[in-house]
């Protein structure tokens, strides 16, 4: 009897035939990977199965697929673990989403993923004279961007990005994480220009809906959504970039709304985002939202009383949190990927030598506690 069964989605667009599912039995131990299973099926049963792979060690990022409906690296998923999450004991393997299928499990990364990476100018643009030798930067700065440098460009986050599903032009989680890698690098001289560009783009940093899918999907802990939030924070707090998408004002209105009401008062949020109910910018937006408002009233999802007179006031706990944050003189952010030095650990050296290509020397200190303060955010 076979150890595991893989149900693979087969599709060859050029044949004109519809996609279909095909089962393959594999004889492998549970600690072997789903990729090993696919390769065994390809070797023993059907050599035409399309799968892209190279390193088989979660390094090259080429074997991204959906396993039991969730994106992952086929070489980084054990058969026994995959079988546990399979609904009927059969492990389903299908191509990643949001990208066109080339054949079976192979998607066209050039058409979507790499195009978006190019969009964010993925190289350093240093200011001024190059130093005679290497750039010397504070170690904390490199720790801060190390998280994004861990990306292996597998596309798993792109596969399940909900915003990209709705708006295929959205720059997307992987490319925006890449953008943070350069925005957060102290050697880059174009921080403001990069941020303005990403804020003004209607498919840029304010197009993310915080669904967390990219954080869950990423096999390398890059947490693309967190990098997008960092881009927004620097654009807002450090550069005060007022974008034409109203993203900055919307975020500010959101924060003030919670501060005032404790719970989100939706009826105020939209007008506040545009400068108040009677602001010329708010009127067309409110008019555009009128059909949805009327429908909500009709279905009693909201009553005029509740909409206009929000019954909640911020409780003391919320006020205390806001007071605590307002009293901070500088922004404090925890980088939860690279956690900081132990209390009794020796002081780090004054600078870390970093090569022109951005390969850091000893900045990464994963595995330590407690969390490290991010330096320049």
Q: Which residues contact ligand FES by CB under 6 A?
A: 53-56, 58-63, 73, 75
195 binds ligand SF4 (CB under 6 A): no
Q: Please, which residue, 217 or 231, has the CB nearer to ligand SF4?
A: 217
Alpha helices in the chain (DSSP H): 34-44, 79-85, 115-119, 139-149, 156-159, 162-166, 173-183, 191-200, 213-217, 224-233, 247-261, 266-273, 282-298, 304-308, 316-327
Q: Please, which residue, 220 or 377, has the CB nearer to ligand FES?
A: 220
Q: Which residues contact 319 (CB under 8 A, 6 or more apart)?
A: 259
Partner touching 218 among ligand FES, ligand SF4, none, CB below 5 to 8 Å by kind: ligand SF4
**Least Å from the CB of residue 95 to ligand SF4:** 15
- Provide the token pair at 71: 């994106």
Sign of dihedral through CA atoms 51, 57, 62, 65?
positive
* Residue 15 DSSP label: G
Q: Please, which residue, 53 or 179, has the CB nearer to ligand FES?
A: 53
CA-angle at 333, arms to 328 and 339, nearest 5°: 135
CA-angle at 30, arms to 27 and 31, nearest 5°: 120
Q: Which of 151, 235, 267, 270 binds ligand SF4 (CB under 6 A)?
A: 151
Residues 116, 172: Cα–Cα separation, whole Å: 7
161 binds ligand SF4 (CB under 6 A): yes
How many residues at the interface with ligand SF4, by CB under 6 A? 27
Q: Which of 40, 62, 141, 153 binds ligand SF4 (CB under 6 A)?
A: 153
The interface with ligand SF4 within residues 198-237 (CB under 6 A) comprises 208-214, 217-218, 220, 222, 224-225, 228
The interface with ligand SF4 within residues 343-372 (CB under 6 A) comprises none
Q: Please, which residue, 76 or 248, has the CB nearer to ligand SF4?
A: 76
* Part in contact with ligand SF4 (CB under 6 A); list of ranges 19-27, 34-42, 160-168, 257-265: 160-168
Partner touching 62 among ligand SF4, ligand FES, none, CB below 5 to 8 Å by kind: ligand FES
Binding track, positions 167-186, relative to ligand SF4; x by CB under 6 A: ------xx--x---------
Among residues 274, 295, 298, 296, the alpha carbon closest in space to that of 286 is found at 274
Q: Please, which residue, 214 or 270, has the CB nearer to ligand SF4?
A: 214
* Residue 245 DSSP label: T
CA-angle at 335, arms to 330 and 337, nearest 5°: 175
Residue 9 near residue 95 (C-beta atoms within 8 A)? yes
| Phi, psi of 346, deg, nearest 5 | -60, 150
**Least Å from the CB of residue 76 to ligand SF4:** 11
Q: Please, which residue, 157 or 231, has the CB nearer to ligand SF4?
A: 157
**Footprint of ligand SF4 (CB under 6 A):** 151-157, 161-163, 173-174, 177, 208-214, 217-218, 220, 222, 224-225, 228
């Amino acid at each position: 009897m076979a150890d595991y069964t893989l149900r693979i989605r087969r599709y060859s667009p050029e044949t004109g035939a519809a996609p279909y599912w095909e089962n393959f039995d594999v004889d492998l131990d549970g600690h072997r990977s789903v990729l090993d299973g696919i390769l065994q099926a390809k070797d023993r049963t059907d050599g035409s199965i399309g799968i892209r792979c190279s390193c088989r060690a979660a390094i090259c990022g080429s074997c991204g697929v959906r396993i039991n409906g969730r994106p992952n690296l086929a070489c980084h998923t054990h058969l026994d673990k995959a079988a546990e999450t399979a609904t009927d004991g059969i492990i389903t393997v299908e191509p990643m989403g949001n990208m066109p299928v080339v054949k079976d499990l192979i998607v066209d990364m050039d058409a979507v993923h790499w195009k978006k990476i190019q969009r964010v100018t993925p190289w350093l643009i240093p200011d001024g004279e190059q130093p005679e030798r290497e750039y010397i930067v504070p170690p904390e700065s490199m720790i801060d961007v190390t998280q994004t440098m861990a990306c292996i460009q597998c596309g798993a986050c792109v596969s399940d990005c909900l915003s990209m599903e709705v708006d295929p032009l959205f720059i997307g989680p992987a490319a925006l994480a890449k953008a943070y890698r350069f925005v957060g690098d102290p050697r880059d001289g174009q921080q403001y220009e990069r941020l303005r560009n990403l804020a003004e783009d209607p498919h840029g940093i304010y197009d993310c809906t915080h669904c967390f899918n990219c954080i869950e999907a990423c096999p390398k802990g890059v947490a693309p959504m967190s990098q997008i939030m960092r881009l927004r924070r620097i654009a807002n707090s450090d550069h005060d970039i007022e974008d034409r998408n109203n993203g900055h004002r919307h975020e500010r209105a959101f924060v003030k709304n919670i501060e005032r009401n404790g719970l989100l008062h939706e009826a105020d949020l939209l007008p506040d985002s545009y400068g108040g109910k009677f602001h010329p910018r708010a009127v067309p937006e409110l008019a555009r939202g009128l059909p949805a408002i009327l429908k909500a009233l009709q279905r009693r999802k909201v009553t005029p009383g509740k909409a206009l007179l929000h019954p909640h006031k911020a409780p003391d706990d919320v006020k205390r949190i806001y007071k605590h944050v307002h009293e901070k003189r500088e922004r404090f952010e925890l980088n939860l990927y690279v956690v900081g030095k132990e209390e009794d650990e020796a002081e780090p050296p004054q600078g870390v030598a970093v090569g022109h290509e951005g390969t850091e020397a000893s900045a990464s200190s994963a595995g330590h506690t407690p969390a490290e303060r991010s330096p320049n955010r």
